[in-house]
Amino acid sequence: MASFTSRVLSVVGRIPVGRVATYGDVAEAAGHPRAARAVGNIMRTSGRPDLPCHRVVAAAGRLGGYGGNLELKRALLRAEGLHVTGSTIRNFRLRRWAFRCARPSARSGQGPGRPGKHKGPKLR
């Protein structure tokens, strides 16, 4: 069983080109839907340029952060075909990628155009 860190890095590395995932989604895929914050820490500490960490964005389609090269992240997202205005992704809803849908065991239903389903009740 890989550690939480290894899982997070693995999930991020599986994000296809032209798709983006939220920290919460990655955290959930790693087994801790509430560890979105920890995910960000792992990315920062790991600092893996080989991973598409720029495809990991905050909730509501916000860019979140990217070390000190936030503009670089924005440029990369734009190059992927995303419409980024300021610090918000316009077509984020259409480009959001669901890790669970990428699993071979997971059945279809991955509508990249309708993430209306809330998978995390996120009780506070």
Residues designated as active site: 53
Q: Does 98 bind DNA (CB under 7 A)?
A: no
| Rounded least distance, CB 107 to DNA, Å | 24
Nearer to DNA, 5 or 91 (CB): 5
**84 strand-pairing partners:** 89
Structure tokens given for 122: 């996120």
Q: Point out which span in 45-53, 76-84, 92-100, 106-114 binds DNA (CB under 7 A).
A: 45-53
| CA 8 vs CA 71, 86, 104: distances in Å | 23, 27, 18
> Does residue 82 bind DNA (CB under 7 A)?
no
Report whether 36 contacts 69 (CB < 8 A): no
Q: Is 75 in the site for DNA (CB under 7 A)?
A: no
